[in-house]
Amino acid sequence: MPEPSLNSQPDALISEAQTQQLLDVFQRSLSQIRDAIKAGVSIDTPDYAASTFVTLSATVSLANERVLTGTANQIVVTDGGAGSTVTLSTPQSIDTGATVQFVQLTLTGRLFGSEMSTNPVVGDLTSLAAFAVYMKGDKFVIAYNNAGTMTYITLDLDGSDTTWAHGTTAP
């Protein structure tokens, strides 16, 4: 049934039939609203608004969203834009081949490593406070940059001698 329209005349009154048509439309609308409320459907909130979403910022129209945020110097969240992806990353590469830098590292368990095939050189240890600790053959080695000269402190691990050797020749 087409919606009734009022007279186009500004001062004209609507007819009794037009009034009845308006009341019928209004009554049908109220009946539909009543039925929706009985069925548990919110008439003011779209269906998607009650769903759970992960978003990058809070949205007033979504009641159950969870905002995905990064943590300073730990996890970086990058928005690829609408219809794209969100990327989570760390501030530095942490893959198995990466050279990772931390200000401090505290270990509460054992530290495991494997033998180094090459010795570090002055370019590897650029600051005077830099050093390397590693295994080379049957030696435990501490290497450091001593004013531009690589210096090695070694301990033989294949005997009972506990004397440290000190020198500028790499083991």
User: Domain check: are 35 and 64 in the same one?
Assistant: no
Is residue 68 a part of any domain in this protein?
Answer: yes
Task: Check residue 71 and report its DSSP letter.
Answer: B
User: Domain check: are 38 and 24 in the same one?
Assistant: yes
Is residue 147 a part of any domain in this protein?
Answer: yes
Is residue 67 a part of any domain in this protein?
Answer: yes
User: Domain check: are 38 and 52 in the same one?
Assistant: no
> What range does the domain containing 63 cover?
47-89
pLDDT value of position 9? 54
User: Domain check: are 64 and 30 in the same one?
Assistant: no
pLDDT value of position 55? 80
pLDDT value of position 155? 92
pLDDT tens, position by position, for the chain (171 residues)? 555 555 555 555 677 777 778 787 778 777 777 777 777 666 566 666 667 777 888 877 777 778 888 888 889 998 888 888 889 999 998 888 888 888 888 888 887 777 777 888 777 777 767 788 888 888 899 998 888 888 999 999 887 778 899 999 988
Count of the separate structural domains present in the chain = 3
Alpha carbons within 13 angstroms on the beta-carbon side of residue 44 total: 2
User: Domain check: are 29 and 59 in the same one?
Assistant: no
User: Domain check: are 51 and 77 in the same one?
Assistant: yes
Is residue 65 a part of any domain in this protein?
Answer: yes
Q: Which token pair is 154?
A: 């070694």
d(CA 151, CA 144): 5
